[in-house]
Structure formats: structure tokens, C-alpha cells
């Protein structure tokens, strides 16, 4: 029986550049810490720049000469996405890793300045636009990867193509599940298109299981009590810390044996906690028709266009 995969298995990343969205706390911060410790130059793309700067300070102290950059990115605003992409393009001619980690959960209904439902805008549409704007910076890099962070909640998700912005009805839990299913539809369709183009870039997905992060702040008091560290002796199989929750993302991003189109998550019961392994997503996430339909709608809504070379 092979040993569990850990952060110690990550190869040296010196000379490689990684962009991590939502890296000021939680899973994104843990991901950024490990990548920096392994030698990567890490860009923390975050909505709150001050919070990101405070998060980067101890990493720089722990890692020593850690190369870390802060870029303001509000995924709920296409204008902010374009500005962040322009800044990244001006600073970096090449990118090795793009980790689409940022997200919101259980949010009250709100429309963004672009007219999108907030959860879908933040968790999917903003990342779709950002990836399209940065893709050419990855296409010239052998072994470059795009990792989209989904959730076990995708299993409850349904893409409401006739009411994508939840204008007729809204349920916060359902909106989150829809956005997490959208993450997988996007990741798989992106990898199919990259392979069809013969591109060196691959698209993978990961999920953290049930990880204790600030994302749970909007959940009920009962839910927060159930995952409390004080109940570790009871909930050890149900929930894990952010450090462990980041490992599936890190494995998808760095494991030399990982391949495009794969999905990584915890090995434990219901994929809630445990060692990071390759896992399976539900049948809806592999619906090729839904993948293409969501892609087309995302292009129309965001104006993003993916310029992929033809496979000669």
C-alpha cells in the first residue's frame, strides 16, 4: 500500500509562477503558503488587498525570500477581472499555474453590477472570464495547469439554463450547488478544448471535502457547531482543517502523475475528509451537452473568448 500523498511530495517549483484567487484566507492561503515554500513565485489575487498583505507577511517571514505579489481581484465585477488580468499580463509573460479557488457560499440574493447573481458571478463567471484573459500566458508553458476548485455540493447542483441568474426563484444553497457544478462543467470542457488544440496546458479540478474555513461564516449556527474543532472526536470523519483541505488542490496542481480532466478530493467517507486522491464527480458534471451549453452562455455573458491554437 502506497504512502498518502502529502505536501512533502511536491517537487521543487523554483522558477514557476502561480496565481491563486481568494488567497487571503482559508484554502487559498494554505495553497499559497505551500507553493511559496516549494519555491514558486505566488500571486495572491484577492478582493481585499489589505487582508492579502497581512496574510502574505508571515509567509514571507517563514519562507524567507518568498516572492509574493498581491493583485486586487473582485470576481463579482467583470471590470475588476479585466483590470486584474491586465496587471498580471503586464507583470508576467508566462504563467505556470492558475488556481481558481475563490468562492462564496450561502449568500443572500444579490445582483452584481453586471447583472449577474452574486454566487454564480463569483464562483464561476468571474473565473471563466479571468481564465480566458490569461490563457495565452499559460499556453506557451510546458506543463502549465489550470485547477478549478469545486465542492461535494456539486452533487446537489443543477444548471438552470432557463433561469441561470435565479431571477424567478432563489435558494442560497441551491445557488451554491449550481455554481460548484458549473465549476466542473467548465473544468472538463476546458480540458477537452485544450486537448483538441494540442495545447501543453491541462485543466484539472479538485475539492477540499468539508474544510473548516471562513466560508462557513454564512452557515447556520447548528452547521458551524457540528464542524467545530471542539467536536473533533466525533466529527473527524466529517470535516478537516484548511491545511488538509488544500491538499487535493495542491496535488492537482503539482503532482507529475496528474493528468488533464482529473478530479482530486479526500479519500474518506463521502469524500468529506482524508488523504488527497483522484475521485469521481457525478454524472451531471460529465454531460457534454451541458458543458458546451454552459460554455456558450458564459462566453455570451462575460464577453470572454478563448483563443486556442489549432492542432496541426
- Tell me how far apart the alpha carbons of residues 294 and 249 are, in angstroms, rounded to a whole number: 23
Mean pLDDT of 281-310: 94
State residue 68's pLDDT score: 93
Categorize the per-residue pLDDT at 2 as very low, low, confident or very high, splitting at 50, 70 and 90: confident
pLDDT in tens, 57-80: 988 888 776 799 999 999 999 999
pLDDT in tens, 189-228: 999 999 999 999 999 999 999 876 655 455 455 454 444 4
Nearest to 58 by CA among 83, 25, 86: 25
Task: Give 229's strand partners.
Answer: none
CA distances from 18 to 50, 72, 183, 241 (A): 20, 15, 19, 23
Q: Is residue 49 classed as helix, strand or coil in its secondary structure?
A: helix
Residue 35, number of CB atoms within 10 A of its CB? 32
> The C-alpha cell of 295 is what?
460554455
Nearest to 139 by CA among 81, 194, 82: 194
- Tell me how far apart the alpha carbons of residues 25 and 41 are, in angstroms, rounded to a whole number: 18
State residue 64's pLDDT score: 72
Mean pLDDT of 138-163: 97
Mean pLDDT of 14-30: 96
State residue 310's pLDDT score: 58
| Domains, the chain, with CATH or none | 9-300 (3.40.50.720)
**The dihedral sign for the CA sequence 21, 27, 29, 32:** negative
145: pLDDT strictly greater than 50: yes
B/e letters for 254-286, b = 16+ CB within 10 Å, e = fewer, are bbeebebbbbbbbbbeebbbbebbbbebeeebe
pLDDT in tens, 173-192: 999 999 999 999 999 999 99
Nearest to 105 by CA among 169, 157, 175, 168: 175
Residue 94, number of CB atoms within 10 A of its CB? 13
pLDDT averaged over the chain? 91
**The dihedral sign for the CA sequence 32, 242, 47, 114:** positive
pLDDT in tens, 251-280: 999 999 999 999 999 998 888 999 999 999
Catalytic positions: 176
234: pLDDT strictly greater than 60: no
pLDDT in tens, 81-113: 999 999 999 999 999 999 999 999 999 999 999
Amino acid at each position: 500500500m502506497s504512502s498518502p500523498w502529502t505536501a512533502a511530495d511536491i517537487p521543487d517549483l523554483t522558477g514557476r509562477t502561480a496565481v491563486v484567487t481568494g488567497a487571503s484566507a482559508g484554502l487559498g492561503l494554505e495553497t499559497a503558503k505551500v507553493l511559496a515554500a516549494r519555491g514558486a513565485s505566488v500571486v495572491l489575487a484577492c478582493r481585499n488587498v489589505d487582508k492579502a498583505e497581512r496574510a502574505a507577511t508571515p509567509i514571507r517571514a517563514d519562507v524567507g525570500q518568498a516572492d509574493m505579489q498581491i493583485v486586487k481581484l473582485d470576481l463579482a465585477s467583470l471590470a475588476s477581472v479585466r483590470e486584474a488580468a491586465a496587471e498580471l499580463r503586464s507583470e508576467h509573460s508566462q504563467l505556470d499555474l492558475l488556481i481558481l479557488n475563490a468562492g462564496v457560499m450561502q449568500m443572500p440574493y444579490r445582483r452584481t453590477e453586471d447583472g449577474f447573481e452574486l454566487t454564480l458571478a463569483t464562483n464561476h463567471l468571474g473565473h471563466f472570464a479571468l481564465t480566458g484573459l490569461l490563457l495565452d500566458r499559460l499556453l506557451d508553458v510546458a506543463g502549465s495547469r489550470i485547477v478549478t476548485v469545486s465542492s461535494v455540493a456539486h452533487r446537489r447542483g443543477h444548471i438552470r439554463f432557463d433561469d441561470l441568474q435565479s431571477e424567478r426563484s432563489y435558494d442560497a444553497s441551491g445557488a451554491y450547488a449550481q455554481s460548484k457544478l458549473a465549476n466542473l462543467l467548465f473544468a472538463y470542457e476546458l480540458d477537452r478544448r485544450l486537448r483538441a488544440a494540442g495545447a501543453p496546458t491541462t485543466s484539472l479540478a479538485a475539492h477540499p471535502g468539508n474544510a473548516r474555513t471562513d466560508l462557513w461564516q454564512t452557515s447556520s449556527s447548528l452547521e458551524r457547531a457540528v464542524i467545530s474543532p471542539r467536536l473533533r472526536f466525533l466529527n473527524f470523519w466529517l470535516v478537516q482543517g484548511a491545511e488538509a483541505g488544500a491538499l487535493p488542490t495542491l496535488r492537482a496542481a503539482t503532482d507529475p502523475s496528474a493528468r488533464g480532466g482529473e478530479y482530486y478530493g479526500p479519500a474518506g467517507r463521502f469524500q468529506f475528509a482524508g488523504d488527497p486522491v483522484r475521485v469521481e464527480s457525478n454524472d451531471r458534471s460529465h454531460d457534454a451537452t451541458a458543458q458546451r451549453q454552459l460554455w456558450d452562455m458564459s462566453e455570451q455573458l462575460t464577453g470572454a473568448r478563448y483563443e486556442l491554437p489549432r492542432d496541426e
